[in-house]
């Protein structure tokens, strides 16, 4: 079967030339199915795993439909994090190298508001934004969304997890119901389905199915260890694997900072990426990592959302993620665009329930390894000791498990609330008046 190229999908030759210069000759499955539907003006719900090329699936048809003779905002792309907003705006800027008159602006928290205000006064055809900062501009009346003809909700499930759906609702109400809406999400929780039903008209459902949830090219290995031996185990793996570029995921900002300090103290070229850093420091860290000036990036899940860096050969889950989606997103930072990659997950006895949940979620049994004398003690009686540690780490009964779940839910709620407060200092505003759906 002859696969179509971008020209056959309706993408103009100037953009096709740019794609070829970047080594992109044939569209991915999600691009092949989404681009024609968007060009036809249909609402689209696209479900695809990370690393499938979904960004270009909506960017390319949007660029085809932009009218450069108009100076108003014609396309709005909403993302859950500033890093993803930056990533998408950079992709768009690459694509418009051979186009004249198309302008794009990224709007997110941590930027100088006065600078954004100045930019918004000019012609901005495409705005890529996080919900909090965009609502701030709406309340200031410094942006008019009544002219938006194309709306993209990217990583909608992550916006749900981070508590942004009320803000998304308010923003959509600032647009007219005649707009074209595109929703991209790795999963489809009932809240996202309700959002689609409320705001979309006969959407075309596009799902790129894979035999396995995780990317085929990524080798996945579990290293059995203990909390006390995690750091030594990580350093051993680094010396053994010799990564070109590696991302190391930690569960909290405090743990990321502590590990970053340890890496630097041991002579490794490393940077950190988490919510406690200023935007300038985060951008500097990302720039150094993209340019391979640093070899290791220690990151939290929220800070690394949407991170797409060529050449990442290794991902280390220093702390195991507590849900399947985060695991898939983390390991998807390597093995990009069909390249090979390897992901190591360090698992202590208390992490085994999370490991089982991930294996069930991705429908795979992951390879298990131990490094005697490093990840575990080199003793004959250690297995008996580990079994005892596993037994002690387990809840005693249904009531204990219920308490753990409640604590987890409370913690998640606090994280969502903290993130939303950091994204926008403005109070909650009333709904707009334009959307009639």
Residues 112-152: tens digit of each pLDDT: 777 777 777 777 899 999 999 999 999 999 999 999 999 99
Mean local confidence (pLDDT), 388-395:
62
What is the C-alpha separation between 269 and 264, in angstroms, rounded?
7
Q: What are the contacts of 165-168 at 24+ separation with CB within 8 A?
A: 165/191, 165/195, 166/428, 167/131, 167/132, 167/135, 167/420, 167/424, 168/78, 168/131, 168/195
Mean local confidence (pLDDT), 203-210:
82
The answer to whether 338 touches 29, Cβ cutoff 8 Å, is no
Query: Among 29-38, 52-61, 401-410, which is the least confidently predicted range?
Result: 401-410
Cβ burial, residue 432 (10 Å; 0-12/13-18/19+):
middle
Mean local confidence (pLDDT), 13-25:
90
What is the C-alpha separation between 171 and 117, in angstroms, rounded?
18
pLDDT value, residue 376: 85
pLDDT value, residue 163: 85
- Which residues in 294-312 are b (16+ Cβ under 10 Å) and which e? bbbbbbbbbbbbbbbbeeb
Residues 344-370: tens digit of each pLDDT: 999 999 899 899 888 887 878 899 999
Residues 160-203: tens digit of each pLDDT: 877 889 999 999 999 999 999 999 988 888 999 999 999 999 99
Residue percentage of the chain with pLDDT more than 90: 51
pLDDT value, residue 215: 57
Mean local confidence (pLDDT), 275-290:
86
pLDDT value, residue 104: 94
Q: What are the contacts of 157-160 at 24+ separation with CB within 8 A?
A: 157/185, 157/186, 157/187, 157/188, 157/189, 157/192, 157/325, 158/80, 158/81, 158/305, 158/325, 159/78, 159/80, 159/131, 160/189, 160/191, 160/192
Q: What are the contacts of 236-242 at 24+ separation with CB within 8 A?
A: 236/371, 236/374, 236/375, 237/316, 237/344, 238/268, 238/296, 241/314, 241/342
Q: Taking 90 as the threshold, does the pLDDT of residue 269 lie above it? A: yes
pLDDT value, residue 255: 94
pLDDT value, residue 413: 45
The number of helices, as runs of H, and strands, as runs of E, in the chain is 16, 14
Q: Taking 90 as the threshold, does the pLDDT of residue 229 lie above it? A: yes
Q: Taking 80 as the threshold, does the pLDDT of residue 398 lie above it? A: no
Q: Taking 90 as the threshold, does the pLDDT of residue 18 lie above it? A: yes
Higher pLDDT, 391 or 285: 285
Residues 66-88: tens digit of each pLDDT: 999 998 999 999 998 888 888 89
CATH architecture assigned to 13-207: 3-Layer(aba) Sandwich (3.40)
* Domain locations along the chain: 13-207, 218-393
Residues 302-351: tens digit of each pLDDT: 766 667 788 899 999 999 998 777 888 889 888 765 567 899 999 999 89
pLDDT value, residue 390: 67
Quote the distance between the C-alpha of residue 339 and its chain's center.
19
Residue percentage of the chain with pLDDT more than 70: 83
pLDDT value, residue 3: 57
Higher pLDDT, 417 or 208: 208
pLDDT value, residue 375: 86
pLDDT value, residue 250: 95
Give one word for 41, left, alpha or beta, with left for phi > 0 and alpha for psi -120 to 50.
Answer: left
pLDDT value, residue 334: 86
- pLDDT tier at 435, thresholds 50, 70, 90: low
Q: What is the rounded average pLDDT for all residues in the chain?
A: 83
Q: Which CATH number fits domain 218-393: 3.40.50.720, 3.40.50.300, 3.40.50.620, 3.20.20.70?
A: 3.40.50.300
Q: What is the pTM of this model?
A: 0.62
């Amino acid at each position: 079967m002859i696969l179509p190229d971008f020209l056959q999908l309706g993408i103009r030759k100037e953009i096709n030339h740019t794609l070829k210069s970047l080594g992109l000759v044939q569209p991915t499955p999600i691009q092949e199915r989404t681009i024609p539907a968007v060009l036809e003006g249909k609402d689209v719900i696209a479900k695809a795993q990370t690393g499938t090329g979904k960004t270009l699936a909506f960017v390319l048809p949007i660029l085809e439909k932009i009218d450069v003779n108009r100076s108003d905002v014609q396309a709005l792309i909403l993302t859950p994090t500033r890093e993803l907003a930056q990533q998408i705006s950079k992709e768009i800027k690459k694509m418009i190298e051979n186009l004249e008159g198309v302008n794009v602006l990224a709007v997110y928290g941590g930027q100088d508001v006065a600078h954004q205000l100045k930019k918004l006064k000019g012609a901005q055809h495409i705005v890529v934004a996080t919900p909090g900062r965009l609502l701030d501009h709406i309340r200031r009346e410094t942006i008019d969304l009544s002219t938006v003809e194309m709306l993209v909700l990217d990583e909608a499930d992550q916006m749900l997890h981070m508590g942004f759906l009320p803000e998304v609702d308010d923003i959509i109400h600032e647009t007219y119901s005649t707009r074209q809406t595109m929703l991209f999400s790795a999963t489809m929780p009932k809240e996202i389905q309700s959002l689609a039903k409320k705001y979309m008209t006969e959407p075309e459902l596009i799902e790129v199915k894979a035999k396995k949830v995780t990317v085929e090219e990524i080798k996945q290995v579990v290293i059995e260890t203990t909390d006390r031996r995690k750091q030594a185990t990580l350093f051993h793996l680094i010396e053994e694997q010799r990564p070109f570029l590696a991302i190391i995921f930690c569960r909290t900002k405090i743990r990321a900072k502590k590990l970053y300090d340890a890496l630097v103290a041991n002579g490794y070229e490393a940077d950190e990426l988490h919510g406690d850093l200023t935007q300038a420091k985060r951008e500097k860290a990302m720039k150094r990592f993209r340019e391979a000036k640093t070899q290791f990036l220690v990151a939290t899940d929220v800070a690394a959302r949407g991170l797409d860096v060529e050449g990442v050969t290794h991902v280390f889950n220093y702390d195991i993620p507590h849900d399947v989606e985060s695991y898939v997103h983390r390991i998807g930072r390597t093995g990009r665009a069909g390249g090979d990659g390897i992901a190591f997950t360090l698992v202590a006895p208390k992490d085994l329930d999370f490991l089982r949940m991930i294996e069930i979620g991705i429908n795979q049994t992951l390879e298990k390894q131990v490094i005697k004398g490093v990840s575990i003690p080199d003793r004959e009686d250690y297995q008996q000791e580990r079994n005892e540690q596993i037994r002690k780490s387990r809840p005693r009964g249904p009531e204990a498990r219920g308490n753990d779940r409640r604590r987890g839910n409370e913690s998640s709620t606090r994280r969502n609330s903290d993130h939303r407060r950091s994204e926008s200092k403005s109070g909650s505003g009333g709904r707009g008046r334009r959307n009639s759906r």
